[in-house]
Structure 1
Amino acid sequence: MTDRPDYARLFRLDDRRAVVVGAGSGIGRESALALAAHGAQVVCADRDLAAAEETADLGEGMTTYRLDVLDGEAVRNAADELGVVDVLVYTAATNVRKRVLDYADDEFDRVVDLNLRAAFDLVRAFGPGMADRGRGSIIAFSSIRSMTVEPGQGVYAATKAGLVQLLRAAAAELGPRGVRLNAIAPGVVETPLTAPIRAVPEWADAYASKSALGRWSRPDELAGAVVYLASDASSFVTGTQLVVDGGWTAIDGRYTPPM
């Protein structure tokens, strides 16, 4: 009979090193703070180093690293320079809210590059080291838009659906070497990315009413999912998408926004 796990430490991350990409604000900031609170040594990575430093000042023993994920060489260098990484969290994303037929080429490239290509580069850069060590958890943020869309969200939704499939494929390939990859799919969250929506009362109220809980979520309400997927509590969870949407997809929320 195997030894019973110490359930009191199921979510502890002591002696593990986590890199949070996008730690300068929003979900990334709260993820970094939550991981540190559970014992992880956290590197707050962000293109805006000053914002990353603000995050680091809020927690214990956190360090910072300037990283522009749109620079593939910089991503590869980060994997080399940061050394042993047990947990990688990627939160950065962007959106251009336009109907598909109105999209310009550069707008398409901007959304795809940050939401999908950068995630691909991060997995390729940090995955090998984790595989060599036989342990690792890579967590990226998708969206409810990977499953359900609305007018003006087509390209964003395509990148988020693509991200989920990318992580599933990598989970299948790296699973035998001890690396887990999962996505977290939020609903509507109060972040800088959604500020333009919240500035329109009708739009903001409509989104709030579309979830079962009747409100927007806060960035800190996603942090628990990050800790779970980073820890041994999810040791048999890989290649999946954890939906944290306040019941939005359960009740099939729909709103056609102004464009």
Structure 2
Amino acid sequence: MTSHLAFDIENQIALVTGSSRGIGFALAEGLAQAGAVVILNGRNSEALELARKQIHERTGANVFAYAFDVTDGAQVADAAAAIEKEVGPVRILVNNTGVQHRSPLLEFSEDDFRRVLDTNLTSAFLVGREFARAMVQRGVGKIVNICSIQSELARPGIAPYAASKGGLKMLTRGMCADWAPHGLCVNAIAPGYFDTELTSALVQDTDFSAWLAGRTPAGRWGRPDELVGALLFLASGASDFVNGQILYVDGGMTAVV
């Protein structure tokens, strides 16, 4: 035996939103490597199918792709019904969909503010609520929301993003308060600075990368695959008495001044 049985998620059905690329793709692939049946989500059907093929070829796992807009309640409800009927009961839900928009707050448009909040926060409410309905009836389920280091810390130019991720932290705890009595575990992973498409402009900024290396005890950017271990813990029986918690995976940034 190479791993503890408490971490076993083999054949459990897991949905990861926003998983055609970046952190979502890495998390979905990690779940597939652990033996889960993985459902990918995004709005671009072609990108999803490419991601599905890549993960299946690399892991041999059963991987499905469902294209729907997680900010549209009607689409979420239809997708949840289809997934439960066509794939099976979702045991693990990862609310990963996110968007960034950088602009001075005085110049931030109302439309962009609403788009950031709808994508990063409202989507987790809509998807979480819809899939929790069946989880509550079954008395079991794991929901993992992908927060951010900006759930605690703010920087100039991304105030709406920080507001959305701070809200997601408290939504995680609110979900725990409502759904833990019904057997659900709702927690969050809060990544620090990771090298992804979302942060590519910052990665290429030598001054910012130098600041990051000095500010982070680990002295570097994170890699998306370094989030998989935290997800496997929160998605498995190993965390059955962990609820409403935010796990920071940030190279130590939130631990120091």
TM over 0.5: yes
Q: Kindly provide the CA deviation profile for residues 59-80 of structure 1, in whole angstroms up to 9, marking residues without a partner as x.
A: 3221111122122211111111
2:194 counterpart residue number: 189
Q: Secondary structure at the match of 1:22?
A: coil
| Equivalent residue runs for 1:170-249 within 5 Å | 170-249=175-254
For residues 228 and 96 of structure 2, the distance between their equivalents in structure 1, rounded to whole angstroms, comes to 11
| Equivalent residue runs for 1:124-139 within 5 Å | 124-139=129-144
1:24 counterpart residue number: 20
Say yes or no: does 1:47 pair with 2:43. Answer: yes
For residues 26 and 176 of structure 1, the distance between their equivalents in structure 2, rounded to whole angstroms, comes to 34
Is contact 1:19-1:89 (8 Å) kept?
yes
Is contact 2:6-2:236 (8 Å) kept?
yes
Which sits farther off after the overlay, 90-99 or 218-227?
90-99
Say yes or no: does 1:34 pair with 2:30. Answer: yes
Q: Kindly provide the CA deviation profile for residues 211-246 of structure 1, in whole angstroms up to 9, marking residues without a partner as x.
A: 111000011011111111100011111111000000
State the Cα distance separating 1:50 from its structure 2 match.
2.3
Which blocks of at least 5 consecutive residues in structure 2 are unaligned?
none
The residue type paired with residue 35 of structure 1 is L
State the Cα distance separating 1:162 from its structure 2 match.
0.5
For residues 110 and 8 of structure 1, the distance between their equivalents in structure 2, rounded to whole angstroms, comes to 42
TM-score, normalised on structure 2?
Answer: 0.92
TM-score, normalised on structure 1?
Answer: 0.91
1:256 counterpart residue number: none
The residue type paired with residue 50 of structure 1 is E
Say yes or no: does 1:72 pair with 2:77. Answer: no
Say yes or no: does 1:10 pair with 2:15. Answer: no
Say yes or no: does 1:82 pair with 2:83. Answer: yes
For residues 4 and 147 of structure 2, the distance between their equivalents in structure 1, rounded to whole angstroms, comes to 30
For residues 148 and 241 of structure 1, the distance between their equivalents in structure 2, rounded to whole angstroms, comes to 14
Which sits farther off after the overlay, 8-17 or 238-247?
8-17
For residues 14 and 200 of structure 1, the distance between their equivalents in structure 2, rounded to whole angstroms, comes to 41
State the Cα distance separating 1:96 from its structure 2 match.
1.6
Is contact 2:97-2:123 (8 Å) kept?
no
Which sits farther off after the overlay, 241-250 or 55-64?
55-64
Is contact 1:27-1:223 (8 Å) kept?
no
For residues 194 and 140 of structure 1, the distance between their equivalents in structure 2, rounded to whole angstroms, comes to 19
Q: Secondary structure at the match of 2:154?
A: coil
Give the aligned CA root-mean-square deviation in angstroms: 1.5
Q: Kindly provide the CA deviation profile for residues 134-166 of structure 1, in whole angstroms up to 9, marking residues without a partner as x.
A: 000111111111111111121111111101111
How many pairs align? 247
The residue type paired with residue 111 of structure 1 is V
The residue type paired with residue 76 of structure 1 is A
Q: Secondary structure at the match of 1:86?
A: strand
For residues 226 and 104 of structure 2, the distance between their equivalents in structure 1, rounded to whole angstroms, comes to 30
Q: Kindly provide the CA deviation profile for residues 27-68 of structure 1, in whole angstroms up to 9, marking residues without a partner as x.
A: 111111111111211111121222222322223221111122
The residue type paired with residue 204 of structure 2 is A
Which sits farther off after the overlay, 65-74 or 139-148?
65-74
1:163 counterpart residue number: 168
Which blocks of at least 5 consecutive residues in structure 1 are unaligned?
1-6, 253-259
For residues 227 and 67 of structure 1, the distance between their equivalents in structure 2, rounded to whole angstroms, comes to 25
